[in-house]
Amino acid sequence: MGTPIRRGRGRRPADEVRAEILTAAGELLLEEGMAGFTVEKVAERAGASRVTVHKWWPSRGALAFDGYFAATSPVLAFPDTGDIEADLRSQLRNWVRLATRTSAGRVVRELLGAAQTDGDLMAAWRERYSGPRRALAVQRLDAAKAAGQLRKDVDSEGLVDQLWGACYHRLLIPDLPLTEQFADRLVDTLFQGVRGEAAAPSPLREKALGVPPHR
Amino acid sequence: MGTPIRRGRGRRPADEVRAEILTAAGELLLEEGMAGFTVEKVAERAGASRVTVHKWWPSRGALAFDGYFAATSPVLAFPDTGDIEADLRSQLRNWVRLATRTSAGRVVRELLGAAQTDGDLMAAWRERYSGPRRALAVQRLDAAKAAGQLRKDVDSEGLVDQLWGACYHRLLIPDLPLTEQFADRLVDTLFQGVRGEAAAPSPLREKALGVPPHR
């Protein structure tokens, strides 16, 4: 991978330079993680000056964030083939591959780890990354509800936590490996449901126990 | 809350002193978080000397860990009333209350945050906390499978990630609030399944698309 360093070219349009810096930032981050990520290396890789990079990105952190989103967005796009189950499987497998076969997993662990005691970093993560990613996922899930492929009363936001959140759980607390098979099973479990034949159907059970309805 | 400080009492048996130190450590941690957690304060609260505390716990971190487990284990016990759905709801609600109404949530965020770049801390977390907690959850889920209340082919380990992992996801990336209602819906979604009426039944779909079986 890695874009070759370009020097001595004629003046490029600003949009092009900006896009190349972003690409370079994303590539460098996924190759080396935050430890090896510097504005200088990004500038060199993009054939731009540090001054130019700083014109658009005030800090190393902001550049890393935007580079991360730019690099991962295409891989993490939410396909819509009309089959939500197949689409979730392929998107989650891409997520797992990105987290386990590139430095993305390490970058996420480093950033989210630091964000636990750094409110500014957490705010940036939510605004620039997890918020927009969650919105895209919910949009795809809501389309599947509208198409009757998911039950209408499913909580799309909660489903985000039970699919991608379950993967984050294995990434951040690695008691067990994060694999594509694991991702597949998350989808299986949700589509098949977990109720065994000896379990009472939920409405009857709740009535019998006097548990108040919670919706 | 908080055990009153006891001084000038006669010699207590070592087991009793150890238990009181552990209780004091757990209480202090949940009240003040890691920032306010010192060996000195624990010793004072337990009416013991720092030397005595250090005899059993080599470091502040080890004392905090053991205190945390001691304080939270009773609250986070897995009930077995014979109704797995009700039991999961009550256990998860306890989890959410602990994480949101005491300092436990902050302690977990601080420790897990630091553990992302501290291999020793992560190893300690997994060995002393998440590993044992996961084993207890799986034990309860397996009992429910044996009783026919959960489908036999459900992946108990994956279910841990889709219940408690989903809660950790909201704790560590607070895009949306962690509430008891959220916990209830996680259980609803898993027991009811998410498949809509317009979705093809899974085996047919997989056969039609030529997707290989993944179990």
pLDDT along chain B (215 residues), means of 10: 53 91 94 90 96 92 88 92 96 97 92 92 90 95 97 97 98 98 98 89 50 46
pLDDT: which is higher, A212 or A53: A53
pLDDT confidence of residue B198: 87
In chain B the first and final C-alpha atoms are separated, in Å, by 50
CATH 1.10.357.10 residue ranges of chain B are 76-193
Is residue B152 within 8 angstroms of chain A, CB to CB?
yes
Residues of A in contact with B112 (CB under 8 A): 113, 116, 172-173
Q: What is the mean pLDDT of residues A56-85?
A: 91
Query: Quick check: A5 pLDDT over 60?
Result: no
CATH 1.10.357.10 residue ranges of chain A are 73-192
Cα of B191 to nearest chain A Cα, Å: 5
Q: Domain A73-192: what homologous superfamily?
A: Tetracycline Repressor, domain 2 (1.10.357.10)
CATH 1.10.10.60 residue ranges of chain B are 14-70
CATH match for B76-193 among 1.10.620.20, 1.10.357.10, 3.40.50.920, 3.40.50.300: 1.10.357.10
A53-62: pLDDT as tens digits: 999 998 888 8
Q: How far apart are CA B116 and CA B181, in angstroms?
A: 29
CATH 1.10.10.60 residue ranges of chain A are 14-64
pLDDT: which is higher, A115 or A203: A115
Q: Which of B194, B204, B209, B211 to mutate to test the interface with A (most CBs of A within 10 A)?
A: B194
Q: How far apart are CA B75 and CA B86, in angstroms?
A: 16
Give me chain A's average pLDDT, please: 89
**Contact criterion met (CB < 8 Å) for A194 and B191:** yes
pLDDT confidence of residue A65: 85
pLDDT confidence of residue B3: 52
pLDDT confidence of residue B214: 46
pLDDT confidence of residue A1: 44
Residues of A in contact with B121 (CB under 8 A): none
| CA proximity to B126, closest of A20, A134, A177, A181 | A177
Q: What is the mean pLDDT of residues A121-149?
A: 94
pLDDT confidence of residue A202: 55
Q: Kindly identify which residue of chain B lies nearest to residue A199, measuring between CA atoms.
A: B149
pLDDT confidence of residue A34: 84
* ipTM for this prediction: 0.84
Residues of A in contact with B193 (CB under 8 A): 151, 190-195
Q: What is the mean pLDDT of residues A57-68?
A: 88
Q: Which residues 160-179 in chain A show a CB within 8 A of chain B?
A: 161-162, 164-170, 172-176
Q: Kindly identify which residue of chain A lies nearest to residue B160, measuring between CA atoms.
A: A166
Three-state secondary structure along chain B? CCCCCCCCCCCCCHHHHHHHHHHHHHHHHHHHCHHHCCHHHHHHHHCCCHHHHHHHCCCHHHHHHHHHHHHHCCCCCCCCCCCHHHHHHHHHHHHHHHHHHCCHHHHHHHHHHHHCCCHHHHHHHHHHHHHHHHHHHHHHHHHHHHCCCECCCCCHHHHHHHHHHHHHHHHHCCCCCCCHHHHHHHHHHHHHCCECCCCCCHHHHHHHHCCCCCC
Residue A167 Cα to chain centre, angstroms: 10
Tell me if the domain spanning B14-70 has CATH number 3.40.50.2000. no
pLDDT confidence of residue A17: 95
pLDDT confidence of residue B161: 98
**Contact criterion met (CB < 8 Å) for B172 and A112:** yes
**Domain A14-64 CATH class label:** mainly alpha
